[in-house]
Every structure is written in C-alpha cells, then in structure tokens.
Amino acid sequence: MFEQIDVNGLDALQTEGPVVLIDVRTDAEVARGVITGTRHIALHELPHQASELDPNAVTVLYCQSGGRSAQACAFLSDQGFAKLHNLQGGIMGWLRAGRALSSPGE
C-alpha cells in the first residue's frame, strides 16, 4: 500500500523527518529540472536498483504527472516497502503549486 500526497503533504513529511525523494522520469525529463534533494531512478531501472533503497525509509516518488510514480509505488510496496507516498500531479503539480525546480545533482 502507498499513500497519495500533494505538495503540502510532502512539506509536512519533510518537517517530521528525513524523506527519500525518488524521481522515476526519463533522463530527458530529469534534465529539465528536479525537486531539490531528489535521487533519479528511471522507472525501468527501479527493479534493478530497489535493493539499494531502505524499505523502512519514508519514501516519496514522483514523475511528470503521477502515473508512473504510482506504478513505482505499487512495485516497491510488493517488495515490502512500507512508508511509500506518491506525489499527486507529479512535477507538474509541484510547478502548479508555485515551487521551483533545481538542476539535477543539486
């Protein structure tokens, strides 16, 4: 299971403690900007890299609009991850909320 959250929900999670942000978009999409502090793992690479992630960490996944990240959340949930959140609206929701993007790697 995973929870749908919006930008304000992400803010609330981050005030409670550390949050792992994972961007599952393509390399080309990521090149246009990310949420600060994000780790990029393209959706098709997630099965190969899931073992590198902490299944007990509070984890928020996002993509362009929320569809691919919901798939990623479902996959990780099946792998035993318990504290998963999907950012509703993805990066587009982030931008609609007036938030800025960072360059990848910042």
CA angle 18, 24, 28 (to 5 degrees): 125
Number of Cβ atoms within 10 Å of the Cβ of 51: 8
Select which of 24, 43, 46, 63 is catalytic: 63
Residues 44 and 18 sit within 8 Å (Cβ to Cβ)? no
Active site residue 63: yes
Q: Which residues are catalytic?
A: 63
